[in-house]
Amino acid sequence: MGNNGSVRTTNERLARKIRREGKQPASPYADKFVGLANGEVVVVADSLDDVSNRLRKIEPDPSKCYIVDVAADYDRVYEV
């Protein structure tokens, strides 16, 4: 991947695909946290801490990383 902008875009596209796929109960991503680096799935775990720690070891540059909470409802609006 050439620059961080294209890596971010690739990670975001993959994250949307994983969220759609993760809605299926048989998906390996269902109710998991998924770590992406450089446009690839590099870690799947049950906790955010686990994904974050493992992702940091795999890719130390946070601008090339993305974490997806597959169980989260990204379409729901929350008022704070």
Q: What pLDDT score was predicted for residue 12?
A: 95
Rounded distance between C-alpha atoms, residue 15 and residue 31, angstroms: 14
Half-sphere exposure of 18 (CA within 13 A, CB side): 28
**Cα separation values, 15 from 5, 57, 61, 67, 80, Å:** 15, 20, 18, 8, 25
* Among 67, 70, 63, 74, residue whose Cα is nearest residue 49: 67
7-28 confidence digits (pLDDT tens) = 999 999 999 999 999 999 999 9
Rounded distance between C-alpha atoms, residue 69 and residue 43, angstroms: 12
Q: What pLDDT score was predicted for residue 1?
A: 47
The pTM score is 0.86
- Is the pLDDT assigned to residue 37 strictly greater than 90? yes
